[in-house]
Structure 1
Amino acid sequence: MASTPLHDLKIHVRFKLSALWTAIMFCYVYGDFWGLYRPGNLRDILEGMGPLGPTSQGSLLAVSVLLAVPAVMIFLSLVLPPQAARWLNLLVGVALTAIVVVTLPGAWTFYVFMSLVEIAMQLAVIGYAWRWPRLAP
């Protein structure tokens, strides 16, 4: 008995980008959450040490802005005009990939794994944005 091919729906690049940013955001959050389990991390937090040094309003704002970017990109990938969405995805994809790469030296294995997943997805964002379909002339 021959199998019947499965129906597939063509998914617009906007939805692919939005889904990637959603997955990236989850990886960021889970990576940071699992980082709390490293010995000494909770003690450092209670003693006022954050990811950028001593905890301050400014350092927490900087980290909050950084972590808000993928969440905002979920929405902006869907609503911005195509040219703006394409360039913003390229720019943010490259920038966040560079930031993740800079955080890798000395990282624990779980963090390296999560970072590699994030990098792969951010490279997919860059690839999809770069190859954004064009209208036929």
Structure 2
Amino acid sequence: MTRTDRPAGVLQEAHIPVQAKLAAAWASFMFLYIYVDYLALYKPGFIDDILAGTVHEFDTGPTFVALALTLMAVPILMILLSTTLPARVARATNLVVATLYIPVSVYNAAGESWTYLSFYGLSIGLELLLLAFILRAAWTWPRIARTTAGRDLAQDRV
């Protein structure tokens, strides 16, 4: 089918670089992660617990705050790193970080009451879908063929 043979109204698919896909996925993950924490503030007693110095049975001291910042900073940095690191390094970094965030996401439901399990189940399910997308996009990162002495060779794998 040539360009003129296409039926009217058919949309052209845009080629989006894998780096942009990964950055978009990490941004989506980050926003979801933030909004889950924000919406948790609406649970009865949650703010009272914060004011008393605890979140999910953890003291809200310097260690908790540093850990919370680290858990948020990593996806934020992955947006930048996915688009600026060399392809091989970006691919490996995305594979490692997304894999490490799977248990982190699942852990967020630990100790929650059944009342809010659907809220956390939905949010964790969405986080896991985004992480699976990141893993798939990084794993299947397109390779370019290079020609050496008249033969086509696939570029070395990571």
Between stretches 36-45 and 107-116, larger displacement belongs to 107-116
Q: Does residue 95 of the first structure (1) align with residue 100 of the second (2)?
A: yes
**Which 5+ residue runs of structure 1 have no aligned equivalent?**
none
Task: Report SS of the residue matched to 1:134.
Answer: coil
Counterpart-to-counterpart distance in 2, 1:47 and 1:3: 63
Counterpart-to-counterpart distance in 2, 1:50 and 1:57: 13
User: Is the contact made by 1:52 and 1:59 (CA closer than 8 Å) also made in structure 2?
Assistant: no
Amino acid paired to 1:5: V
Amino acid paired to 2:50: I
Identity rate, percent: 35
Q: Which residue of 1 aligns with 2:47?
A: 42
**Which 5+ residue runs of structure 2 have no aligned equivalent?**
1-6, 147-158
Change (3 A) 1:76 1:18: same
Q: Which has the higher strand share?
A: 2
Q: Following superposition of structure 1 onto structure 2, how do residues 19-98 of structure 1 map, counting pairs within 5 Å?
A: 19-51=24-56, 53-98=58-103
Between stretches 44-53 and 114-123, larger displacement belongs to 44-53
Structure 1 residue 39, shift from structure 2 partner: 1.1
Q: Which residue of 1 aligns with 2:143?
A: 134
Question: Residue by residue, what CA displacement relative to the aligned partner does 1:72-128 show, whole Å, maximum 9, x if unpaired?
Answer: 100000000111100110011011112111222443221211111011001100000
> Cα RMSD (Å) of the superposition?
1.3
Question: Residue by residue, what CA displacement relative to the aligned partner does 1:5-36 show, whole Å, maximum 9, x if unpaired?
Answer: 21221101000000000000010011001111
The counterpart of 1:114, out of the listed 120, 123, 143, is 123
Counterpart-to-counterpart distance in 1, 2:103 and 2:135: 12
User: Is the contact made by 1:90 and 1:126 (CA closer than 8 Å) also made in structure 2?
Assistant: yes
Change (3 A) 1:10 1:71: same
Q: Higher relative CO (CA 8 A, sep ≥ 6), structure 1 or 2?
A: 1
The counterpart of 1:16, out of the listed 8, 18, 21, is 21
Counterpart-to-counterpart distance in 2, 1:106 and 1:49: 14
Could you state the TM-score of these two structures normalised by the residue count of structure 2?
Answer: 0.81
